[in-house]
Amino acid sequence: MDINGLVKKFYQVFGDDGKPRVFFAPGRVNLIGEHTDYNGGNVFPCALDIGTYAVARKREDNLIRGYSSNIESFGIIEAQIESLSHEVGHDWFNYPKGVVSTLGSHGHSIENGFDVLYHGTIPNGSGLSSSASLEILTGVVVRDLFDLEVTMMELVKISKQAENEFNGVNCGIMDQFAVGFGKKNHAVLLDCNTLEYEYTPIELGGNFLVIGNTNKKRTLAASAYNQRCKETANALKALQSALEIKSLGELSIEEFEKNKHLIEDGIERKRAKHAVYENQRTIQAVKELNGGNIHGFGQLMNESHKSLKEDYEVTGEELDTMVQLAWNHKGTIGSRMTGAGFGGCTVSIVKEDLVESFIEKVGQGYEEIIGYPATFYVVAVGDGPRELTEVLR
């Protein structure tokens, strides 16, 4: 659906009493650095050219009305701006509500309500951050509609807080940051401990980014994610009995190996190993990319997946099958799972002239083994959130 189609749909849903404004926020893919964000490590995500659109218009009263063109069965969902709370029946709309509520708790006055239609081009449950895209997008919509004095860094922190507290999801800050600070043709190396960041040009040298969606529903992801958070927190506590550190991300590999005996639980030791090694892999991967060594970068992607499979145990048959098939294909520079795991997506760097073969062969092999098809997306690295100013009919 193009922008004019979205505006037409907005008029159908909310009426044509006043012209709306149109906004976009990207999805994101993490190239390397998985499950390191809540462990105070580094991540290396980039924004995508797929994401979430919003068509929005101010109201005269205090009502917020939301509609998703992707899940039309919910119809228009309404909430009063002065009494926002998490409601099970509001489903997806709890994410925008959470951002509006948290903005208010930070002293950003929103004097009246608004109507908003959302349309997403990110596959649901794919691990490409549809929730963070929706949250940052809502923040930008409200900021611009009501002329709020709020920086992008504030919106990132507010969106994370909304997901943690309003919606009860223990995510780190990477997803919201990657969406909010997306830059075309660049990935961003973010230190999740300090929020210091630097952009790195994505020079793939005749290779393409291919996202492979396993199409497995990520039923275990939330509970397993929270369990991994607990396990790494326990490992950190054990290490703090002898080390003055605030996060696993502060450790070098040498320091970890010297002190890992302090973690008595074998499972927790494996989890900590992944967090430490993955953090160092991420730092090295950016160096390889900056040095023009795309094959070195790809090898570190492969090592990342092996660690996520063996030490962090968040992959599963579907992701492992897709990655193994990718590794077996002659066009693959590197491939790994991306996101929380237990379903969702892989990200691969594939030689340009072998992309079609990659999609055909990996897709065919995946369906033969798993029993249902995967979906593939050849993606570009896109810009961050913004208002779209194309002429609207």
DSSP state of 298: H
Q: CA-based angle 121:47:178, to the nearest 5?
A: 115
| List of residues 6+ apart from 178 with CB closer than 8 A | 28, 30, 43, 45, 46, 47, 129, 132, 188, 190
175 in catalytic set: yes
Residue spans of beta strands (DSSP E) within 36-138:
42-43, 45-58, 63-68, 77-80, 114-120
C-alpha neighbours within 13 Å on the C-beta side of residue 84: 25
Residue type, 209: L
Distance CA 175, CA 130 (A): 9
Choose the catalytic residue: 37, 115, 175, 311: 175
Contact 179, 139 (CB under 8 A): no
| Per-residue pLDDT, 225 | 84
Could you give phi then psi for residue 243, rounded to 5 degrees? -120, 140
C-alpha–C-alpha distance, residues 175 and 178, integer Å = 5
The torsion angle over the Cα atoms of residues 250, 347, 72 and 117, rounded to 10 degrees, is 60
State how far the Cα of 368 lies from the Cα of 375, in Å rounded to an integer: 14
AA letter at 369: I
Q: If residue 284 lies in a helix (H) or strand (E), which one and from where to where? A: helix 266-290
d(CA 248, CA 268): 12
For residue 286, count other CB atoms closer than 10 A to its CB: 22
Helices 94-105, 152-161: inter-axial angle, 10-degree rounding: 120
Q: How far apart, in Å, do the first and last CA atoms of the chain sit? A: 14
pLDDT string in tens for the chain (393-residue length)? 789 999 999 999 999 989 999 999 999 999 999 999 999 999 999 999 999 999 999 999 999 999 999 999 999 999 999 999 999 999 999 999 999 999 999 999 898 999 999 999 987 666 677 899 999 999 999 999 999 999 999 999 999 999 999 998 877 889 999 999 999 999 999 999 899 999 999 988 889 999 999 998 766 566 788 899 999 999 999 999 999 999 999 999 999 999 999 999 999 999 999 999 999 999 999 999 999 999 999 999 999 999 999 999 999 999 999 999 999 999 999 999 998 888 889 999 999 999 999 999 999 999 999 999 999 999 999 999 999 986 454
Write down the pTM of the prediction. Answer: 0.91
- Sheet with 42-43: strands ordered across: 42-43, 186-191, 197-201
Set out the domains of the chain in order of their start, with CATH numbers. 3-201+382-388 (3.30.230.10)
